Structure 1
Amino acid sequence: MTNELVKKLDYEATFDCVQCGYCLPACPTYIAFEKEKHSPRGRINLVKMAAEGKITIGDMQEGIDLCLGCRACETVCPTNVRYGDILMSAVEVLKENKKQSVIEKTNRTLAFKIALKNKNVLRLINKGLYMYQISGVKRLTKNYNLLKSVQKFNELNKAMPDVILSRRINRNINPFRRNNVSVGFFQGCIMDSFFARINDLAIKIMQKNYVQVTNIPNQTCCGALQHHAGESKDTIELAKKNIEAFEKYDFDYIVNTIGGCGATLKEYHKLFKSGTDWHNRALAFTNKVRDISQILSFLNLEFINPINKNAVYQPSCHLENVQKVFNEPDKLIEKIPGLTYLPMPQRSLCCGSAGIYNIVHYNESMKILDMKMKNVRATEPNLIITSNPGCHIQMQLGVEREGLSDVLEVKHLVEVIAESCGVEV
């Protein structure tokens, strides 16, 4: 056992696991792959044995790599094991010790250090996607399977939503405030690039209900993808930028429409040593973070348009298991007139998106998605409601794979509420 490795791996936290197995039925990779090393307790054992020198760091690679990070195990754990902290310590150690090819290093640099960290680059990507769409190339590529030689990109291309042009964030406060609520709005990266319309609808709904909404300049990527890839320095840098950007203004909540990003924002304080100035500033930040469903649930929304659909809800893992938002989306969905809300079996099992898991571990992701779609088909809905962009794309991919695109829609919760409330952008 080396003190350095024990310090880097969250070794002490592994002793909280009593190996009871409560996590097994909640773990999608254990259900899909049926191996102990793909269960939460199996991964915890791998981390413990690596810290003790009983196995090499490389021996825990596969088990850790194929974890979705959904953290459903935390929700059901009777001893409150900090699985997320154990997992991230292992991811960082593996990243430090992994020999990367030139191509891998280049891809990580382009993705984590250039594209996601720079709003201007993201807007260029957004414009490129918009031109790809309106030029008709996307439609031709989809209809004629022009990417069929690379299956995962062919299927992801079919699942990608149409985009609208994102705009530069300027500080903009709506003057109306009959509700005693003011919020700073977090745009997100993928959300702003692919789902800017949903952000716009969320803001419009709040403004219509007299919530004071402030767009915050200088905000940046939340750091979720970097954090999950073991890029700690970049994650901390982004966290500091967001904390500095938002703490300049006075409002009650920091609101977002993205289950995964919201979870990262909610845990910024874990990035800094307890008692430090940055830790205290991060705590002040995280205490204000709220999902859009939490804000909409206490507004007196006026539902004027019935939506005559049979719907299931696919919750974001991080919205439930990290942010602990379980009831608000359900309550909102149940208020929508005309909507028949169907209970989906095992609805809280991860869909297999998990950031970029469905790209780097495509086959494993599709096995998990196929389990999810089996439960969707058993329910026979014609609408899937989501609360996270990754889940949205993944469920649309499932619809395409099942040949159900003509009879089954995928929409974000905000889109459904906006439609029923008569809100448009």
Structure 2
Amino acid sequence: MTTIKEQEQIQKEFKSRMNEDELLNCMRCGFCLPTCPTYIESGFQESHSPRGRIALMKAVVDGLIEPDEDFEKSLNMCLGCRACEPVCPSGVNYGQLLEEARDIVNQNKKHSLPVRVIRKTVFEGLFPHQNRMRTLTGLLSVYQRSGMQKVARKSGIMKLFPESLASMEKVLPRVPTGKEMKNRPEHLEPIGAKKKKVAFFSGCLMDTMFMKTNDATMKLLQIAGCEIVIPKSQACCGALHAHSGEKDGAKELAKRNIAAFEEIGADYIITNAGGCGAFLVDYDHLLKDDPVWAERAISFKNKTKDISAILVELEFHKRELKLPIQIITYQDSCHLRNVMKTAAEPRKLLEAIQNTTFCEMKNADSCCGSAGIYNIVESEMSMQILDSKMENVKATDAKTIVTANPGCLLQMKLGIEREGLSEKMRAVHIVDLLLEAVGE
């Protein structure tokens, strides 16, 4: 809970830092309302809609309301999916307003000691350091491979955790060993004639917990005719920092990544995680006031492309792609669709796979409820959104749910587990499915 003094400081910074022109751009038309999962699942509460949150931000700027606990709850309940942005006739950059508001609140609020320790550990001690990420993931590998996981499940200890976390433990991917995570490539030649030179953004969780998907991504790029450079000095994208009110940390990570990639001379910077990609293309906004980095950030943004987009550009969908007979469906990554504007390309690739029937899911473009760590910190709302999503999934009769983001992948696996469909249905990242389809 914020004190009166903290609220006064927050109000002061809202006045000086929030983009009032952007706040005033919202015409309160309501086009955003049908696209907002939290507005719908909360029973149409205005304070849980984009329009309502913008109105609250403006009221804080104007001194009409205090930035109290209810105000902070409204900000935190937002998934940050940014589905409101493509439908906004005024082009309001809601995601940027949300990040700025969260940063102001977080930087001027005194957290409890346990929360301060956790935040410092995660945002300063863990995610900026890939070697520490590998160490932590290596411990998870030991847990999975040593028999400890089986003991934990049989003992019933998992029942002590919230249901969503206990279920999440069941759907975690088989993690590579510490040795495997250390031996990562830095340069790969194309298979066949070279068509493009690309740099690969390997990410933090993607190159540890989801390392096999990164390997599949690089293999597809090679098959498509790409020379690949993987800069060793790259870092976490910074999305988790920015979404959690740690904007300065996000800026430092952005600068590290821009410096790591700009000397390569690649045609594109390729990402395979919608959440990471969306934040990478927002570097220009993040660093817009920095005279040293602003132009460099724009150049970085202009080269960033999702794996599905370059595969379509290189006509990968015209290759012979084949899978066993089945129905497949696709769950959009919110940030890939709403920020990177990449929605047609994944579908074009999936529709090209022989023997399969692509069935478009109802509301495939709505959030699955993962949203980074949202499914942990706002578990109840997240599971409510997921349950609604799974009704649409089941209506397709699909055997395979395809995603393009690690958080979405785990969330859909969690949905399958919660519905008791593990024997009938699977969730898979699009690059892993395409590698199957190309016969590798």
Q: What's the TM-score, normalizing by structure 2?
A: 0.93
- Which residue is 1:370 aligned to? 387
| Residue 390 (structure 1) aligned with residue 390 (structure 2) | no
Once the 2 structures are TM-superposed, how far is the Cα of residue 16 of structure 1 from its aligned partner?
0.6
Taking the aligned partners of 1:343 and 1:175, their CA distance within structure 2 comes to 33
| Alignment partner of 1:351 out of 368, 386, 408 | 368
- Which residue is 1:290 aligned to? 305
Q: Give yes or no for contact 1:198–1:414 (8 Å, CA) kept in 2.
A: yes
- Which residue is 2:4 aligned to? none
- Which residue is 2:34 aligned to? 25
> Are residues 4 and 90 of structure 1, via their aligned partners in 2, closer, same or farther at CA, if it must alter by over 3 Å?
closer
| Residue 195 (structure 1) aligned with residue 206 (structure 2) | no
- Which residue is 2:123 aligned to? 112
- Which residue is 2:272 aligned to? 257
Unaligned runs of 5+ in 1: none
- Which residue is 1:416 aligned to? 433
Taking the aligned partners of 1:12 and 1:343, their CA distance within structure 2 comes to 38
- Which residue is 1:314 aligned to? 331
| Alignment partner of 1:49 out of 56, 59, 63 | 59
Q: Give yes or no for contact 2:192–2:223 (8 Å, CA) kept in 1.
A: no
Give, as a single letter, the amino acid of the residue that structure 2 aligns with 1:27. Answer: C
- Count residues in correspondence: 423
- Which residue is 1:16 aligned to? 25
Moved more, 298-307 or 80-89: 298-307
Taking the aligned partners of 2:161 and 2:231, their CA distance within structure 1 comes to 39
- Which residue is 1:328 aligned to? 345
Alignment of 1:25-424 (within 5 A): 25-34=34-43, 35-58=45-68, 59-142=70-153, 145-151=156-162, 152-165=164-177, 166-174=181-189, 178-274=193-289, 276-301=291-316, 302-423=319-440
Q: Give yes or no for contact 1:146–1:154 (8 Å, CA) kept in 2.
A: no
- Which residue is 2:3 aligned to? none
Q: How large is the Cα RMSD of the aligned pairs?
A: 1.7
Give, as a single letter, the amino acid of the residue that structure 2 aligns with 1:191. Answer: M
Q: Give yes or no for contact 2:190–2:224 (8 Å, CA) kept in 1.
A: no
Identity, % of aligned pairs? 41
Moved more, 158-167 or 236-245: 158-167
Moved more, 84-93 or 163-172: 163-172
Taking the aligned partners of 2:366 and 2:125, their CA distance within structure 1 comes to 33
Unaligned runs of 5+ in 2: 1-7
| 1:182-208 Cα distance to aligned partner (Å, 9 max, x none) | 100111111112111011011111112
Taking the aligned partners of 2:384 and 2:119, their CA distance within structure 1 comes to 26
| 1:310-341 Cα distance to aligned partner (Å, 9 max, x none) | 11101100000111111100000000111111
Give, as a single letter, the amino acid of the residue that structure 2 aligns with 1:200. Answer: D
Moved more, 377-386 or 28-37: 377-386
Once the 2 structures are TM-superposed, how far is the Cα of residue 150 of structure 1 from its aligned partner?
1.0
Taking the aligned partners of 1:145 and 1:318, their CA distance within structure 2 comes to 37
Once the 2 structures are TM-superposed, how far is the Cα of residue 177 of structure 1 from its aligned partner?
6.7
Q: What's the TM-score, normalizing by structure 1?
A: 0.96
| 3-state SS, counterpart of residue 273 of structure 1 | coil
